[in-house]
Amino acid sequence: MREMIIEKLKSIVGQENIKTDYDELERYSKDETSSVEPSVPIAVVFVNNAEQVSDILKLANQYKIPVTPRGAGTGLSGGAIPKKDGIVLSLEKMNHILELDLENMAVVVEPGVITDEIQKLAEENGFFYAGDPASSESSSIGGNVAENAGGVKVLKYGPTAFHVLGLEVVLPTGEIVNFGGKMMKNVMGYDMIRLFIGSEGTLGVVTKIILRLIPKPKYSAVLLTPFGDMETAVSCVPKVLCESGILPTSIELMDRYSVEISSKFLNDNIPQQGVDCHLIFEIEALDKESLTRAYISLGEKLQQMGALEVYIADNRHQKMKIWKFRKAIAEGIIAFRPKHCMEDVGVPIKAIPALIRSTYDIARENGVEVLNFGHVGDGNVHVTFLKPETMNEEQWENSMHRSLEKLYHITANLGGTMTGEHGVGIKRKDYLNIFLTQTEIQLMKKIKQAIDPNNILNPNKIFPDRI
């Protein structure tokens, strides 16, 4: 059976586009999620167009083979981890920018294009693609769509969904459908684009994406503000947003341990290293004068609210000097604390202080360590539990589970979400019913069943095994 399936796949994509060696398969058995077990598929198939995707999904339906679509494999929920008896459908080779349509302020791309390449092309032409996940150097746009990726600019520009105008999708049953186009407004029937975005590769395989471009913001400044205590820092976030009259592009938090770990990774120090936390604000303006007025106004407010100092970066080099500390946190955690659990909870901004406060209590109660960083401006915090060196694996598994459960209950009570941008995937599916009712989960499952009756497309994701 297995050999027969592989032969049929070869006839669709050609021998050169299928891998079955264990060493190759092992690479596709995991993504960048640390706390989920890898799972080796029977084959990895590299597709070049929507028709090949369609033929593969029809074959998968005929023989009931689980298919897991995969972009660059940078996901943080285990969404690209295949089933053992399934195949990985890699979209890496569909990596072409098909059209740059400046008159319509749109770009048409295949899913395997690395997000930064879109950004570079847009910038070269005086435009801007506002989707900017932290992984933009390595993640693919198809993955960004599948997870509705966020990033550091969501506060002002919104997540990936805000920038998608149209999609070509191959349904799990093999039909190719198109929704949307290069127009801004479209209320023709259900919003199918938003249904596919963030569906974690369970409802269809996206094969073409139309993205919206906007004029490139000309001037920006980054404010780095150290704070003596976390409570003062996070309390000022909602105040700044409500009272300053300025909507920053980003408000990012780095607690002391986050800064320590990224500094170690970069072998560099941030100003006022060792304080309780740092906040980073980025603001934009049309001209230098209004930018100066804005950063003075915002900086003075932050000083009044307890910032120990306000550092201003208004050129590229200085801005990079600040942002590199924020961007290196995740890499630092992977390098120095490989046994960790990076979370992605989101709460209404007013509840941020309560959420952060609770994480230290949870860590203390369960004997684990914790660090907090992330997009506090939009309420999305990457609470990260770390295994203490002295703790054994079994204890860690139990403590991590207890910590997560507590964190999720607190987040739910604060009116929040389990995941703001990383997705449910395998990693979080068993906790979904903390946040959603049985009816709500059943509604989602009915949609899945209607579109994928044989449950072949990325099964075993999102929904808990038991409701």
Partner 1 sequence: MKILVLAKQVPDTDKVKIDPLTGTMIREGLDAVINPLDLHALELALCLKETHRAQITVLSMGPMSTEMVLRDTLALGADRAILLSDSAFAGSDTWATSYTLSEAVKKLNIEYDLVICGEKATDGETGQVGVEFAVLLNLPVITYVSRFVSLQNDSIVVERTVEDAYETWKVRLPALISVLRSVSEPRLPTLSGKKMSLSKKVEIYNARDLGLKNNDLGLTGSPTRVVKVYNTKLSRNCQLYMGKDLNQGIQEVVKILKNYKGSVRR
* Closest distance to partner 1 from the beta carbon of 297 (Å): 10
C-alpha distances out from residue 214 to 123, 314, 371, Å: 10, 22, 35
Which CB, 117 or 309, lies closer to partner 1? 309
Give the nearest distance from C-beta 269 to partner 1 in angstroms: 8
What is the rounded CA–CA span in Å between residue 175 and residue 172?
8
Query: Residue 95 contacts by C-beta under 8 Å, 6 or more apart in sequence?
Result: 110, 112, 113, 114, 140
The yes or no reply on residue 271 touching partner 1 (CB under 8 A) is: yes
* Short-list 197, 190, 269, 244, CA closest to 377: 244
Taking the least distance from each CB to partner 1, the nearer of 287 and 361 is: 287
305 is written with which tokens?
């609210």
Cβ proximity to partner 1: between 172 and 299 the closer is 299
Residue 274: Cβ-neighbour burial (10 angstroms; 0-12, 13-18, 19+): exposed
> What part of residues 234-253 is at the interface with partner 1 (CB under 8 A)?
none
E strands of 61-195, at which residues?
Answer: 67-70, 87-90, 97-101, 106-109, 127-128, 164-170, 176-180
Residue window 292-311: x/- pattern of binding to partner 1, with contact defined by CB under 8 A: x--xx--xx--x-----xxx
Per-residue mark of binding to partner 1, 86-125 (x: CB under 8 A): ----------------------------------------
Q: Indicate the residue among 20 and 272 with the shorter CB distance to partner 1.
A: 272
Q: Map the footprint of partner 1 across residues 118-177, applying CB under 8 A.
A: none
| Radius of gyration of the chain, Cα coordinates, nearest whole angstrom | 22
Smallest gap from residue 318 Cβ to partner 1 (A): 6
What whole-number distance in Å separates Cα of residue 85 and Cα of residue 259?
Answer: 42
- Please identify which residue in 100, 176, 246, 312 interacts with partner 1, judged by CB under 8 A: 312
* Amino acid found at 237: V
Residue 444 corresponds to which tokens in the numbers above? 């989602």
265 vs 295, beta carbon nearer partner 1: 295
Q: Which of residues 320-379 bind partner 1 (CB under 8 A)?
A: 321-322
Report in angstroms how near the CB of residue 119 gets to partner 1 at its nearest. Answer: 14
Stretch that binds partner 1, among 192-200, 236-244, 291-299, 340-348 (CB under 8 A): 291-299
CB of residue 326 to partner 1, shortest distance in Å: 14
Q: What is the DSSP letter of 78?
A: S
Among 92, 80, 68, residue whose Cα is nearest residue 33: 80
Binding-site size, partner 1 (CB under 8 A): 21
Length of the chain: 467
- Encoded tokens for 446: 């009915």
Place of tokens 């920053």: 248
Closest distance of CB 233 from partner 1, Å? 16
The residue range among 31-39, 287-295, 356-364, 396-404 that interacts with partner 1, by the rule CB under 8 A, is 287-295
Rounded least distance, CB 309 to partner 1, Å: 6
**Span interacting with partner 1, options 24-32, 39-47, 174-182, 317-325, rule CB under 8 A:** 317-325
Per rule CB under 8 A, is residue 404 in the interface with partner 1?
no
Tracing tokens 């000083």 back to the chain, one arrives at 303
- 316 is an interface residue for partner 1 by CB under 8 A: yes
For partner 1, which is the closer residue by CB, 183 or 296? 296
> Using the 8-state DSSP alphabet, how is residue 132 labeled?
B
Give the CA distances from residue 226 to residues 17, 180, 252, 270, in Å, rounded to whole numbers and listed in that order: 51, 45, 12, 10
Beta carbon nearer to partner 1, 270 or 391: 270
Residue 259 contacts partner 1 per CB under 8 A:
no
**Interface pattern 211-230 for partner 1 (x via CB under 8 A):** ------------xx------
Closest-CA residue to 320 (of 247, 253, 222, 251) = 222
Residue 206 or 222: the one with the smaller Cβ distance to partner 1 is 222
- Using CB under 8 A as the binding rule, whether residue 279 contacts partner 1 is answered as no
Kindly state the smallest distance separating residue 245's Cβ from partner 1, in Å: 18
Exposure string for 445-466, b = 16+ CB within 10 A, e = fewer: eeebeebbebebbbbbbbbeee
The CB-of-419 to partner 1 minimum distance in angstroms stands at: 34
Show the 3-state SS of 282-309.
EEEECCHHHHHHHHHHHHHHHHHCCECC
User: Residue 297, Cβ neighbours under 10 Å: how many?
Assistant: 14
User: Where on the chain is the footprint of partner 1 (CB under 8 A)?
Assistant: 223-224, 271, 288, 292, 295-296, 299-300, 303, 309-313, 315-318, 321-322
